[in-house]
Amino acid sequence: MTTILTNKLKIKYDLEKIQRDYDFIKIIREDKTIYGAHILDLDFVKVDAIVFENGHSLVLMYRKNQHSSYTFNEYFRNSPYMDSYRAMDVSCKDLVENNVLLQLFLNALSNYSSDDLKYNNLTGNLFITHPALIVKKVKDQPMQLDALQVKVDKEETLNFSANRFNSVKYRNKMKIEDKKFRSLPKYELLSNGVLKRHHKGEAKQLFVQRAIDNEKASIPFLDISSFEKYNASKMGMMSDLLERFEIYFGEYVHLEFEEYSDIRQALIQSERFELVNHELGTTLYLIDKICDEHSKIELKHIQHILLDKYGLKSRIVKHPQKDAMNIVYLHEKEYYKKHQLVDPYINDKAFLTHHLTVEGFLENEELTIEVILKELLIKKDLEKQQISLLDWSDFQFEHEWIFINKISGEENRYLGMKIYPNGHFVFTEFENTLFRNHEYNQYADILVSSKAEGLIIDHHKNINVIVQTKLYSLQEMHQIRRIFKQTKENQKYFKDELADLLDHISTQTKSQSIISEVSDIKEYLDSVNEPEISQQYFVQKLHHKTLKQKVNDYFVMNYQKHLFPYFRNQQNKSELYRGSLDIHYWQIDEKRAQYCVGEKSKNPKPKMDKGVIIREVQAIGDAPVFFDELLPLMDVDFVRLGSLTVLPFPFKYLREYAKKYI
């Protein structure tokens, strides 16, 4: 049975022990916003952790009898800048609400760090840094770095988000007023990798938590290509955090991630969409909007790809053609801005076009062409009002379905798509205003109130709404860490046992390369004078992929340990990736269900840039939850080429129609 591991926490406090060993002080500034930096700068304040509750208060946590509220209040009374502050003792019981107490203990991890991972309690927040997350250096000096912020919310969900810190030397690239920039806390990156708020004195380099230009922080959700990369991923950091939390604070707070059971795994088709199976049915034109020697060469190259891979003939022209498919070749938007040129982007409803940028094409030529052709086919479907990328009748729907969403960038405009059993569809655009009385207006009200990603209506007018949650489907992070650690061990094993194992493998295979390698390894074992050999030296002699796998399987079965970090065989995939692959669906109650969509389990990548978000389906009014009937609509690989889609694919048609016609 599949279970889903989530970032929803199960928290168990031992309040008696906490009250025995820790004190808590709340500092309040009732008249204005409180600035924690001033508090942190006080010489006598040596706290374990700090958390901001809101704009007017913060909470300090420290070991028993180290400070008193009296000391703080005396200081405030004698300070001309802090006379509006006051301090009061609080009980740990009063901090359980809204999980302030847990956040304090999480922030207290800043007092304990590993060799690579550093925990930083910066201005009331917890950030985790790693040397691999230094984004940019100039003359060996870090200029940009990313950090993972860890925060528990009121719903007991552990959130982890990437944040970027930039050198103050990039001030001119930051979109921020001078006054606000000066008020930003400045941080110093110490030689041991710890970020520390800069108070006074000289510093080689100062950072602010601020992005530059349009850059975003980027930390992979999961990367198991190496132990170092795993530790620098979100899942690696979470694994380390929970491990350390249990070591240092386990007697005070016990943390577990919540699991969902009784999970239904949807059957995934290996392939639903093959571009070569589709006829474009019209002429294909390449529109050159650059018109230089380079563009002529590249367009000729594109022509060859179209002909060789898809058997498609095309013509290079200067202007788009009606009743045809047009690929417009141009630069990215930023290029025309930088050179103060008119952007030749074509947004004419009369033409069926898709744009190909010079910059985008050079990244991955053949994949880019495939994506463009797929997008043109979708646009062709929009013109014909008929789904052709797959056979809608294969889903065996006996009645129509309606899909509705808000038009992006529009305040009160909505778009509906009704699909009939034969795959024919019609769009309906409507506004949600007091002066409009459209039959779909009731649906717009639901979308606004629920902040939904989409709304679906069946032929009985039952309504289901899709809502994005803060939950993720997590991989088995602790097991992955355990496997990596085991491969780093250097335990000794008896040579005779290893020789017997190799003999057994050799007799079970016809592969001459394996038999030959076994012979070489046994010869090496005979040359070792000691009765035992270390794991390190034995592993170095294993080269053949299949042999390594068989030896590893033996060690897992007999010693419950791994010699190699294998994560992609079928058993490991189901255990370690859990619900992060394929489509999983489960019922919460009569009115709610949840689901998540990951990568196809056929060939999971060792690196996942984004986490698998759990979405919730809510039945409105007297309606039942019927969303399970629509799970096959996410088992398509043309919305995200080669990957599953996180929403039923008609929502892709809604988005594309809005972009072209509205």
Q: Are 304 and 316 in contact (CB under 8 A)?
A: no
Residue whose C-alpha is closest to residue 643's, from 585, 580, 571: 580
**CA–CA gap between residue 606 and residue 626 (Å, rounded):** 34
Q: Are 184 and 166 in contact (CB under 8 A)?
A: no
pLDDT at 522: 92
CA-to-CA dists, residue 458 to 465, 622, 624, angstroms: 12, 13, 11
pLDDT at 359: 86
Which residues fall within 8 angstroms of residue 238, CB to CB, at 6 or more apart? 150, 158, 160, 474, 477
In a 10 Å sphere around its CB, with 0-12 CB exposed, 13-18 middle and 19+ buried, how is residue 540 labelled?
exposed
Q: What is the pTM of this model?
A: 0.89
CA-to-CA dists, residue 468 to 270, 444, 581, 614, 638, angstroms: 27, 17, 18, 7, 22
- Cα-Cα-Cα-Cα dihedral sign, residues 235, 237, 243, 249: negative
pLDDT at 271: 62
pLDDT at 40: 56
Asked if pLDDT for residue 155 goes beyond 90, the answer is yes
**Residue type present at position 102:** L
CA-to-CA dists, residue 503 to 444, 508, 513, angstroms: 70, 9, 14
Q: Which two tokens stand for residue 22?
A: 């820790």
460-502 confidence digits (pLDDT tens): 999 999 999 999 999 999 999 999 998 888 889 999 999 999 9
Around Cβ 534, how many Cβ atoms within 10 Å? Answer: 15
406-462 confidence digits (pLDDT tens): 998 888 889 999 999 999 999 999 887 766 666 788 888 888 776 789 999 999 999
Q: Compute the average pLDDT of residues 180-191.
A: 88
SS3 285: strand
Please work out, in degrees rounded to the nearest 5, the angle formed at the alpha carbon of residue 13 by the alpha carbons of 9 and 17: 155
235-277 confidence digits (pLDDT tens): 999 999 999 999 999 999 999 999 998 888 887 776 666 676 6
Q: Compute the average pLDDT of residues 504-519.
A: 91
**CA–CA gap between residue 150 and residue 159 (Å, rounded):** 6
Q: Are 160 and 171 in contact (CB under 8 A)?
A: no
DSSP 52-81: EEETTEEEEEEETTS--HHHHHHHHHT-SS
Q: Which two tokens stand for residue 354?
A: 């898709």
For the chain, give the mean pLDDT: 89
Residue whose C-alpha is closest to residue 92's, from 104, 108, 80: 104
Q: Compute the average pLDDT of residues 95-105.
A: 95
19-38 confidence digits (pLDDT tens): 999 999 999 987 766 655 55
Name the DSSP class of 263.
P
Q: Are 252 and 13 in contact (CB under 8 A)?
A: yes
> Which residues, listed in sequence order, are joined to residue 305 by a DSSP beta bridge?
none
Tell me the backbone φ, ψ of residue 384, rounded to 5 degrees.
-85, -15
pLDDT at 270: 60
What's CA 38's distance to the chain center, in Å?
35
DSSP 625-641: --GGGGGGGG--STTBT
Longest dimension (CA), the chain: 93
pLDDT at 361: 83
Q: Which two tokens stand for residue 655?
A: 């988005």
Q: Compute the average pLDDT of residues 639-654.
A: 91
pLDDT at 570: 60
What are the DSSP E strand ranges found in 450-555?
Answer: 454-457, 463-474, 492-494, 532-534
User: pLDDT band for position 604 (50/70/90)?
Assistant: confident
**Residue type present at position 66:** Q
**CA–CA gap between residue 626 and residue 1 (Å, rounded):** 23
Instruction: Kindly give the pairing relationship between strand 134-138 and strand 141-152.
Output: antiparallel
Q: Compute the average pLDDT of residues 564-571.
A: 73
Residue whose C-alpha is closest to residue 29's, from 98, 87, 100: 87
Alpha helices in 290-363 (DSSP H): 293-310, 333-338, 358-363
- HSE-up of 544 (CA within 13 Å, CB side)? 19
pLDDT at 310: 85
Q: Compute the average pLDDT of residues 153-168.
A: 95
Which residues fall within 8 angstroms of residue 380, CB to CB, at 6 or more apart? 280, 281, 282, 325, 352, 388
Cβ contacts of 632-636, under 8 Å, gap ≥ 24: 632/266, 632/395, 633/395, 634/266, 634/583, 634/597, 635/266, 635/267, 635/268, 635/269, 635/272, 635/583, 636/272, 636/273, 636/389, 636/390
Q: Compute the average pLDDT of residues 621-635.
A: 95
| Helix, strand, coil share (%) of the chain residues, nearest 5 | 35, 30, 35
**CA–CA gap between residue 276 and residue 286 (Å, rounded):** 20
CA-to-CA dists, residue 315 to 284, 302, 304, 322, 380, angstroms: 7, 11, 11, 14, 19
Asked if pLDDT for residue 15 goes beyond 90, the answer is yes
- Cα-Cα-Cα-Cα dihedral sign, residues 110, 113, 119, 122: positive
**CA–CA gap between residue 554 and residue 563 (Å, rounded):** 10
pLDDT at 436: 61
pLDDT at 259: 93
Instruction: Kindly give the pairing relationship between strand 284-288 and strand 314-317.
Output: parallel
Q: What is the separation, in whole angstroms, between the first and last Cα of the chain?
A: 46
